[in-house]
Homo-oligomer: A and B are copies of this chain.
């Protein structure tokens, strides 16, 4: 029994640069230079080293590289969005923005729990992430992580309450404007607004934008903004009320796709034709909701991928030393479908 005998169950350790050097018959220094394309290595030597590295499937240990460089090439994504409706597109946008993938992403779900968030924060800082992206579960401003962190932080979707932090959020006000402009452009004049939970800034902002655009078009809102919850059930109930109180409504602006789905259901039940008699719009352009609707749902797309890319971009800048700050709003866009324009 020699000391090189390994128990059968043991997994082969990942090969190190030392192993490559030994196999190629050179020093570790030369092996490093050969693999990294540095000068002063004879072509034959380089070839030997590269072949040795491939043979044993050598992968440089990023940890050791990071400890030298002071940069780990990792980013922490701290989310409170359990469903991933916001954080996943943002994750993808970030993956794209960081480029040919030098950056790996730690995803932590704090589940709207401050304790858990602090806990994950400690873990991420211990792993020496180069930066943090914090994604909220809604667009309401959230407490700052603090300003004495050793790494830059970018807040996405939910801005930080601290103006000196860097936040990137969708432009909910303009979302309301775009929606009303579209409805007006299609000839609607009597537009009711069914919103979600009144305490959400997203509801307030969208309503503000809608009111502004209505005024600009010289129109009066049809009844009050009807706040409720972000559910299909509320969309159904509110639509009944709108039809009862203002039967001459010709458009329903719903503050989420789910509410809009509920509105469509009620309209169908009551024999109201969409979009001929009443147009319906949603917000978020959530494909799951819009694709199955009858007719398919026109919606405002919040551009989450772009939001993620921009957040990642700002983070890279901050890591590079450019201290951006303040709240940056990202443009939204409208996706027109059959619920506002008759299918051709």
A residues lining the B interface (CB < 8 Å): 9-14, 57, 59-64, 66-67, 70, 72, 74, 77, 82-84, 88, 91-92, 95, 101, 104-109, 119-120, 122-128, 148, 150-152, 231-233, 236, 258, 261-262, 265, 268-269, 288-289, 291-292, 294, 321, 323
Contacts and interface: CB of A to CB of B under 8 A. Distances in A.
A294 B321 contact: no
A59 B14 contact: no
A74 B70 CA distance: 19
A241 to B, nearest CB: 18
Contacts of A92: 82, 109
A334 to B, nearest CB: 22
Contacts of A61: 67, 126, 128
- Copies of this chain, complex-wide, total 2
A107 B105 contact: yes
Contacts of A109: 88, 91-92, 95
A284 to B, nearest CB: 12
A321 B92 CA distance: 34
Interface of A is mostly: mixed
B107 A91 contact: yes
A14 B64 contact: no
Given A67-B61, A122-B59, A128-B14, A106 B105 contact: yes
B232 A62 contact: no
9 nearest CB pairs, A to B: A232-B292, A84-B84, A107-B107, A14-B150, A62-B126, A84-B88, A62-B127, A63-B63, A59-B126
B258 A13 contact: no
Contact of A72 (B11, B60, B63, B233): B63
